[in-house]
Each structure stands twice: as structure tokens, then as C-alpha cells.
């Protein structure tokens, strides 16, 4: 039980750091990195529950593998969009991306 608590605490800390980065950082790259951090915190939770949960099973580990795959794809797409945006606007600052407002 103790082990689960420490894993979950670490995951929560990681998640909050990621969330903080997503909300405060201006650079879109860092925002993307922070999102990765949040995803990894979730992965950590999945694995922790797979090992020390009420009903330990392999499903959690498999699910985290899927998440990593999707995260890789997401990072690729996200960076591609960023490159496209940088080409058109010569900036990667998130606070300048306010097209939705208009």
C-alpha cells in the first residue's frame, strides 16, 4: 500500500508540474512538452495500479503502451502544426494564437 501511495504522489506532482507548464508557458514547444509530462503522469498511475491495485492485472501496462504510442503520434502532429504556424506567423508564442476570438 505504501508503494502505491508514493507512486501516486509522484504521478500527482508530475501532473501538476505539467498542468502548470501548459497554463503558464508562452512557448508552444514547452506547452507540448508539458502535455507529455501530464501524459506520463497518467502512465505512471496506470502502471502503479497494474502492480499494486486492488485487482492487479496486465491491462494497465498494455494500456500505458497504447498511451505512449498515441502520445508519440500526438507529439508528431503537434510539432507539425507548430512548424506550419511558425511558417505563417514567425512565432510560436501561444498567447498570439487568438484566431478563435475573431
Partner 1 sequence: MSSLAEYAWLVPVFPAAAFAVLTAMGRGAGRGGAWIGTLASLASLVLSLMLAGQRLSGTAVEYSNHFDWIRAGGFTLSLGYEVTNLTVLMLVVVSLVSFLVNLYSHGYMKDDERISTFFAYVALFSSSMLGLVLSYNLLTMYIFWELVGVCSFLLVGFYFRKPEAKAAAKKAFIVTRIGDIGLLIAILLLFWYMPNHSLDFTEIHNVFGTQTGVISMGITTLIALLIFLGAVGKSGQFPLHVWLPDAMEGPTPISALIHAATMVAAGVFLVTRTFDIFEASQAAMTTVAVIGAFTAIFAATIGLAQNDIKRILAYSTVSQLGYMMLALGVGSETGAMFHLFTHAFFKALLFLGAGSVIHAVHTQDIREMGGLGRKMKITAGTFGIGALALSGIPPFAGFWSKDAVLAAALEANPIYFIVGVIAAFFTALYMARLFFLVFAGSPRGASHAHESPAVMTVPLLVLAVLAVIAGFVQTPFSEWFGEWLFPGAEEEHASVLVIVVSIVAGLLGIYLGWLIYAKGSVRRDVVSSRMPGLVRLLERKYYVDELYDLVFVRPLGGLGKLLNVIDDYVVDGAVRVVGQSASAIGRLNTRLQSGQLQTYALTALIGLVILALAIAGRRFW
Q: Verify binding: residue 54, partner 1, rule CB under 8 A.
A: no
95 touches partner 1 (CB under 8 A): yes
- Does residue 2 interact with partner 1 by CB under 8 A? no
Nearer to partner 1, 65 or 84 (CB): 84
Residue 70 sits at the vertex; the CA angle it makes with 49 and 19, to the nearest 5 degrees, is: 65
Report if residue 88 touches partner 1, rule: CB under 8 A. Answer: no
In the complex, the smallest distance separating the C-beta of residue 98 from partner 1, rounded to whole angstroms, is 3
Unique residue bearing C-alpha cell 505539467? 18
Amino acid at each position: 500500500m505504501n508503494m502505491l501511495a508514493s507512486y501516486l504522489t509522484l504521478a500527482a506532482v508530475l501532473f501538476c508540474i505539467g498542468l502548470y507548464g501548459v497554463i503558464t508557458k508562452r512557448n508552444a514547444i514547452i506547452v507540448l512538452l508539458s502535455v507529455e509530462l501530464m501524459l506520463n503522469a497518467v502512465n505512471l498511475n496506470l502502471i502503479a495500479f497494474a502492480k499494486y491495485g486492488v485487482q492487479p492485472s496486465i491491462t494497465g501496462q498494455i494500456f500505458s503502451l497504447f498511451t505512449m504510442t498515441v502520445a508519440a503520434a500526438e507529439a508528431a502532429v503537434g510539432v507539425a502544426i507548430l512548424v506550419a504556424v511558425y511558417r505563417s506567423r514567425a512565432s510560436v508564442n501561444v498567447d498570439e494564437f487568438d484566431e478563435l476570438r475573431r
